[in-house]
Amino acid sequence: MTVLDASRMHEIETRYPEYFHRSFRQRFGGLVIAIATLCYAIYAVWFFDLPKILGDAHWERLGIAMTQWVSYEVQPEFRINENGIQVRYPRFSPLGDNPNPEWIKTNPDGSLLVNVSGTREAVAISKDKIIMTAGSEAVSVDITTDLPKISGPMPNWVNMHEDNVTADLGFYGDVSITSHRVKIRKRFLGWPNFVFDTDSPYFGKSTGEVVSLIASGPRLDPAQSNFSLALDNIWNNHAWQHGDVWTKLFQTIVMAFLGTLMGAVVAFPLAFLAARNITPNRLLNQVLKRFFDFLRSVDMLIWALFLTRAFGPGPLAGSGAIFLTETGTLGKLYSEGLENIDDKPREGIKSTGASGLLVQRYGVMPQVVPVIVSQTLYQWESNVRGATIIGAVGAGGIGLKLWEAMRTNANWANVAYMVLLVLIVVFLFDAASSALRHRLIGDDRR
């Protein structure tokens, strides 16, 4: 074992001072960063008043919205008078104009039994009283007087108001009772009439019946075949508007592609003029770089608002907004890629007496093509998402339709449908962009 004396230790300290005489930053840098991060987090909590925001948030609305994304409601209304009990449905009910659902049963004495969720939650309706059942609990409501009255104890899922009684049956729906009317909201999982709406002759038929009609059934419309009629009914579905949604989705894709392509075409030559090592003109370099900064500093959404006022709502404004933003973004990325190239290949080709164009072609392009291709494809993929956002301000595409559906606050299933379509398109474009990058750049790594 080697024993180190004082002189040997001093020699080692002199030779490797970075290990024995570390600076303040090296010794306490990590701790300072951790303390600064903690202080910033505390400041952010205070500045945004997060405890109050979290306490006042309506978390129940999130559950309601998510429920409405994957389910739908049927709202029958039962009117009670001397002629009996009449059932009415809202206009454009998902069950059609004259529904006769199996979950509403008529008893021999004229009373009705509504199964809200199988056999656990049910409502029995007669001329003089309403009996609501939830699990093992039952509540009887007397409706023979001007105001409904509850007989017996009232469980926590039932509320008595001034002129009506309400019952919350959770996910399955709710009940509202007045002296001469019972309104029930019954919830179902799924998207109603997604393939055929209530106006289609195929509405209400099973898959087997539809296939049989298309394959060998008699013509439902003398002017076209059953198969053509089925496609027309799906495309022009009034409830889901598949044709309009898919057309708007295609507009969004075209907006993203056209805007990115035009931005790349304009940014490419300007980047050569902005790169210091390619164009040794300091004034021109700075002017173009500030021009790129200006274009990309104005958000795509703001450009869309300006162009919508100039050209009116539509895909042209959306494509123009993407074009302006991408000219600035790609111009900056391309010019920085050009400034980081190795000058030796360019100088070697220049020494052979080649023209300036050939010098750029063989001395510069092979080095920057991977960067250009990768960044352009990434921006193209990103702009598919961006085109959806700017559509909400009138730039066309599926974003505008998505915003219109959200504003109604009643079409959340349609919102979910369009969001799902956008997600699928983004995933597909991400996969296509990644495959193109690997193929064009020649990198087989995953």
Domains of the chain: 76-189 (no CATH), 242-441 (1.10.3720.10)
Q: Mind listing the pLDDT tens digit of every residue in the chain (446 residues)?
A: 556 666 766 676 677 666 666 667 777 778 889 999 999 999 999 998 888 888 888 777 777 778 888 888 899 999 988 888 889 988 878 888 778 888 899 888 888 999 887 667 888 999 888 999 888 888 899 888 888 888 778 888 899 888 899 998 888 889 999 888 999 999 988 898 999 988 889 988 888 999 999 988 888 888 889 999 999 999 999 889 999 999 999 999 999 999 999 999 999 999 999 988 888 889 999 999 999 999 989 889 899 988 888 888 888 888 999 999 999 999 999 998 888 887 777 778 777 777 777 877 777 788 888 888 888 888 888 888 888 888 888 777 888 888 888 887 778 889 999 999 999 988 888 888 888 777 776 654 44
pLDDT at 228: 93
Q: How far apart are CA 3 and CA 7, in angstroms?
A: 11
What pLDDT does residue 18 have? 62
For residue 259, the model assigns a pLDDT of: 93
What pLDDT is attached to residue 163?
A: 86
Virtual torsion, Cα 281, 282, 284, 286, nearest 10 deg? 160
SS3 of the chain: CCCCCHHHHHHHHHHCHHHHCCCHHHHHHHHHHHHHHHHHHHHHHHHCCHHHHHHHCCHHHHHHHHHHHCEEEECCEEEEECCEEEEECCCCCCCCCCCCCCCEEECCCCCEEEEEECCCEEEEECCCEEEEEECCEEEEEECCCCCCEEECCCCCCEEECCCCEEEECHHHEEEEECCCEEEEEEEEECCCCCCCCCCCCCCCCCHHHHHHHHHHCCCCECCECHHHHHHHHHHCCCCCCHHHHHHHHHHHHHHHHHHHHHHHHHHHHHHHHHCCCCCCCHHHHHHHHHHHHHHHHCCHHHHHHHHHHHHCCCHHHHHHHHHHHHHHHHHHHHHHHHHCCCHHHHHHHHHCCCCHHHHHHHHHHHHHHHHHHHHHHHHHHHHHHHHHHHHHHHHCCHHHHHHHHHHHCCCHHHHHHHHHHHHHHHHHHHHHHHHHHHHHHCCCCC
For residues 317 and 307, the answer to whether their CB atoms sit within 8 Å is yes
**Which residues is 122 bridged to in the sheet?**
115, 133
pLDDT at 270: 94
- Per-residue pLDDT, 233: 93
Q: So what's the pLDDT on residue 326?
A: 94
pLDDT, residue 356, reads: 76
Please give the pLDDT value at position 327.
Answer: 95
Cβ proximity of 224 and 209 under 8 Å: no
What's the N-to-C CA distance of the chain in angstroms?
49
* Model pLDDT, residue 13: 66
Could you give the count of Cα atoms lying within 13 Å of 412 in the half-sphere of its Cβ?
Answer: 16
Q: Is 308 exposed, middle or buried (0-12, 13-18, 19+ CB in 10 A)?
A: buried
Query: Cα dist. 25→17, 21, 28, 40 in Å?
Result: 15, 12, 5, 20
What pLDDT does residue 28 have? Answer: 77
Q: How far is CA 214 from the centre of its chain?
A: 35
Residues 6+ apart with CB under 8 A from 97: 198
